[in-house]
Structure 1
Amino acid sequence: MSESDVDLAYYGDDLTGSTDAMEALALGGVRTALFLDPPSPEELTGRFADLEAVGVAGRSRSMSPAEMDERLPAVFERFAELDPSLVQYKVCSTFDSAPETGSIGHAIDVAQPVFESPFVPVVVGVPALERYVVFGNLFATVGDRTYRLDRHPTMSEHPTTPMTESDLGRHLRDQTDRDIDRFDLLALESGDADAEFAGLLETDPEIVVFDAVDGSHLQTVGRLVWERAAESTEGPVFAVGSSGLDYALTAHWSETDGTSRRDVPSGPDPVDQLLVMSGSASPETANQISNAIADERFDGIRLDTSALVRPDGTESERERVIREAMDALERGQSVVIYSARGPDDPAIEETRTAAPDDVDVGERIGTTQGEILEAVLRESNVDRVCVAGGDTSGYVTPALDVYALEYHRPLAPGSPLCVASSDDERFDGIQVCLKGGQTGGEHFFETVRRGGSDAWP
């Protein structure tokens, strides 16, 4: 790794995706902290003095291009002050984006005036999460079947950013005018990837999409990207990547003693009670909620979201849920508080219909969920929580005055258990799992309560 204190700085386009990157780095032995706001060099002291990677959890996946123009430059300029060798714009391994919402191409356009990267690597494949890129096309596995992304049963029907194109280059061309090329499996497996890559760069592509199907591909990609970043004398290389980029880098660093190789805790670490707050409507999370409620250790509490979005119903509904959660905890139960059970839950449309025109439904529900979680934790002794849903996580963590997260132990790929740093003494050191909607096994909430299993990593 380079001689600078921080070698990698990354901005996550949502909170759960940001913890996914932190996990990939931590499993590779890289000491990483994830901040809610960009840290200054002066803030990377004390408990954060020996960080090798710094993350910032953002919300740009839901931003318009105009919002990106307003918010992202300050983050990128702060990263430039940290002087890392590589800056990563962390995206989901399903490449969620559209020209008007969460545009990855526009994020590149915002970043390049700051970093002037000679090219922008795009590394999306994550074999550990069953995401694969083949000849520039993204595939994802559901159950025992692997789908091209535009045929994926969830992502092709996504309500905000439906993926109608699996070719990542073609998808990006709807979001940026920059020249795009790819480095595919044939080049990776040619026997002389270095020469192939050098030849590609001689054509001056502005963006390069990398294939990846297995760990050997990622290791080669990590080496090719890192060598260019480490050799750069003009500032950081700016890259776009899922956690596949982080796995790629750590695979390369592990072969070159490029990290301090910190040990990662393993084995179960159970607690008596877990508090779950779910704002996800994914089928996977719905199944996890059903299994948790069927478990005698968990009580389920449904949020009446139609009441939450009405001016005269928010406070009474919030108080009801807090009261029921406290009653369950006092009986020794774990608790799952949820806003929906699957994408076809009638409550979703009922809530949209009930909401006044001037109410942002997602913001109202997410903010109230944060208030409920804060109140229940303050009145109880629970010290481990799980939040399901990327947007929900973005609303809940500020309610706990959390300013940074550090990796604690593995639970399931992409959803680690973290330790929070908070300005509030009650929440400083609390254990938090921020779970993306589609991650984790069918009994994931019990896995969180148990503190993991020996099956992962």
Structure 2
Amino acid sequence: MRRREDPGRRWGVLADDVTGACDVAAELRAVGLEVAVVLGVPDVEHLPRDVDVIVVGLGTRTAPRERAVAETLTAARALPAAGHGRWYQKYCSTFDSTDDGMIGPVADALLAEAALHGSAGTPATPHADRTVYRGHLFVGDRLLSESSLASHPLTPMTDSDLVRVLSRQTEHPVGSIPLRTVHAGPAAVAAELAAAPRHVLLDALDDADLDVLAAALHPDDGPAPHRLAGGGAGLMTAFGRRIPRAARAAVDGPAASEGPGIVLVGSASDRTRAQLDAVGGPTTTIDAHAAVADPATEAERVLDVVAGLLADGRRPVVSASHDPAAIAQAQAAHGTEVAAAAVEDVLARVARHAVERLGVRRLLVAGGESSGAVARGLGLRALRLTERVDPGVAWAVGVTDSGIPVAVLLKSGNFGGVDLFERAWGCAP
């Protein structure tokens, strides 16, 4: 018999970026749970009390260690006040993190805070074609180090051995549990966990493997091992499949007002480029040089184009440049981080003014950093998940800091079908 869930032990997910938060929230919503996404370090007084899972979307993936640790701990300490005292450390399904990165330091800080003796997790996320075998991370049929993530501008992943990667981020020992143990069942995994090092990375190829890991880490018929669970959306979704459904009506969030939609693109991933190509029609491209020089003026230029398209009954698409030569030139002139931040600033300004001045009420945003910038630009603090469109991709509703209800779809650059930019509008709130 499945045990009743202790309200004080509901899950609180600590995600290192906004699209990662929306990814796991979309999958939890798909298994029938009520989920709220809180953006940024939460205010205890405004945390929802009527959902199964709270997902906190931080902006710590590429943050300095000290800031990543401080913001994660502040968020973690707030969650028990809303009855969500069981933590899950959500990081990217491609383990995005440099040697100076935050996965190891954040795990160590959470272990100390909760007086746990170790962590156990996996970035394996079958819906995103991320798997782990013999401690190595695969993207599709390629090792992580042979995928496009090897040349990521901020977190180049050139090592597929997760034990090696995590060992460079923590002074504590790191081990792994192989697939043969997972296939032996939850008891075998639990037994190996009992003798494992402080940090353990887990092999998994599919949802059945993740269900075994979830049962081993938090069994129904006994005390849970004293380990912090973490990883991609896949393992947290396996925990979600084990959560008893609340005996109450579904929770309604704010409804988005009637109004047009807009697509905002900051990602340069291959999948996002394919989605842009599938849309066809004109795309307004942000000039990175102009964005660095004067983001307000560049945003106004873009808004003039957007206003004209809306007046013609068309759905505007605004994007960072995908021209390799233009990107290289902007990065060489201003630096990679400065150029990227300026473009994100323009996207955020366009989003805010499109909502407040042009009546836009639905925004589809592609790219993790861009989604965070747009959410901050709109002043969104919390979202209620509504409709899952694709694996890891869902619409949500929230209220801007100027009191306007909007619907947003905040997606990782690599997620969603090729036709997402057209198909998503059919189920927008």
- One fold, TM greater than 0.5? yes
Amino acid at match of 2:99: P
Amino acid at match of 1:414: G
Match of 1:432 in 2: 408
> In structure 1, what is the Cα distance between the partners aligned to 2:73 and 2:320?
34
Taking the TM superposition and a 5 Å limit, the aligned residue runs for 1:382-421 are: 382-421=360-399
Does residue 244 in structure 1 map to residue 243 in structure 2?
no
Q: Could you report, residue by residue, the CA deviation over 1:178-213 in whole angstroms, capped at 9, with x for unpaired residues? A: 2222222211222x431x234313325211212111
Please say if residues 85 and 229 of structure 1, whose CA atoms lie closer than 8 Å, have aligned partners that are also in contact: no
Shift of 1:264: 11
Amino acid at match of 1:241: G
3-state secondary structure, aligned to 1:197:
helix
Taking the TM superposition and a 5 Å limit, the aligned residue runs for 1:255-266 are: 257=244
Does residue 423 in structure 1 map to residue 418 in structure 2?
no
Please say if residues 9 and 84 of structure 1, whose CA atoms lie closer than 8 Å, have aligned partners that are also in contact: yes
Please say if residues 222 and 251 of structure 1, whose CA atoms lie closer than 8 Å, have aligned partners that are also in contact: no
Please say if residues 30 and 261 of structure 1, whose CA atoms lie closer than 8 Å, have aligned partners that are also in contact: no
Q: From the superposition, tell whether residues 260 and 214 of structure 1 become closer, same or farther in structure 2 (CA, over 3 Å).
A: farther
Amino acid at match of 2:321: A
3-state secondary structure, aligned to 2:200:
strand
Q: What is the aligned counterpart of 2:160 among 162, 166, 169?
A: 166
Match of 2:186 in 1: 193
Shift of 1:229: 11
Match of 2:421 in 1: 445
Please say if residues 122 and 230 of structure 2, whose CA atoms lie closer than 8 Å, have aligned partners that are also in contact: yes
Does residue 60 in structure 1 map to residue 60 in structure 2?
yes
For structure 1, the 5+ residue unaligned runs are 266-270, 453-457
3-state secondary structure, aligned to 2:280:
helix
Shift of 1:425: 2.2
Q: Could you report, residue by residue, the CA deviation over 1:351-409 in whole angstroms, capped at 9, with x for unpaired residues? A: 22443x89933322212211111112222233211111100111111211211011111
> In structure 2, what is the Cα distance between the partners aligned to 1:139 and 1:260?
39
Mean alpha-carbon deviation: is it higher for 102-111 or for 81-90? 81-90
Amino acid at match of 2:144: L
Taking the TM superposition and a 5 Å limit, the aligned residue runs for 1:322-361 are: 322-341=303-322, 345-355=324-334, 360-361=338-339
> In structure 1, what is the Cα distance between the partners aligned to 2:278 and 2:237?
31
> In structure 1, what is the Cα distance between the partners aligned to 2:86 and 2:295?
45
Q: From the superposition, tell whether residues 383 and 6 of structure 1 become closer, same or farther in structure 2 (CA, over 3 Å).
A: farther
3-state secondary structure, aligned to 1:205:
coil
Match of 2:177 in 1: 183
For structure 2, the 5+ residue unaligned runs are 253-257
Shift of 1:230: 7.8
Please say if residues 61 and 96 of structure 1, whose CA atoms lie closer than 8 Å, have aligned partners that are also in contact: yes
Match of 2:145 in 1: 150
Match of 1:76 in 2: 76
Q: Could you report, residue by residue, the CA deviation over 1:137-184 in whole angstroms, capped at 9, with x for unpaired residues? A: 11112xxxx1111111x1122122222221211211111122222222
Please say if residues 51 and 251 of structure 2, whose CA atoms lie closer than 8 Å, have aligned partners that are also in contact: no
> In structure 2, what is the Cα distance between the partners aligned to 1:421 and 1:319?
23
3-state secondary structure, aligned to 1:324:
helix
Q: What is the aligned counterpart of 1:218 among 210, 218, 242?
A: 210
Match of 1:207 in 2: 199
Match of 1:321 in 2: 302
Shift of 1:337: 0.3
Q: What is the aligned counterpart of 1:367 among 345, 350, 370?
A: 345
Please say if residues 124 and 204 of structure 2, whose CA atoms lie closer than 8 Å, have aligned partners that are also in contact: yes
Match of 2:255 in 1: none
3-state secondary structure, aligned to 2:399:
strand
Q: From the superposition, tell whether residues 150 and 263 of structure 1 become closer, same or farther in structure 2 (CA, over 3 Å).
A: farther
Shift of 1:259: 5.2
Q: What is the aligned counterpart of 1:290 among 251, 257, 277?
A: 277
Please say if residues 262 and 362 of structure 2, whose CA atoms lie closer than 8 Å, have aligned partners that are also in contact: yes
3-state secondary structure, aligned to 2:241:
helix
Normalised TM-score (structure 2):
0.90
Shift of 1:110: 2.2
Shift of 1:69: 4.1
Amino acid at match of 2:426: R
> In structure 2, what is the Cα distance between the partners aligned to 1:243 and 1:409?
17
> In structure 2, what is the Cα distance between the partners aligned to 1:358 and 1:99?
19
3-state secondary structure, aligned to 1:25:
helix
Amino acid at match of 2:291: L
Normalised TM-score (structure 1):
0.85
> In structure 1, what is the Cα distance between the partners aligned to 2:412 and 2:169?
25
Does residue 277 in structure 1 map to residue 264 in structure 2?
yes
Please say if residues 290 and 298 of structure 2, whose CA atoms lie closer than 8 Å, have aligned partners that are also in contact: yes
> In structure 2, what is the Cα distance between the partners aligned to 1:208 and 1:410?
31
> In structure 2, what is the Cα distance between the partners aligned to 1:96 and 1:411?
25
3-state secondary structure, aligned to 1:407:
strand
Q: What is the aligned counterpart of 2:33 among 30, 34, 39?
A: 30
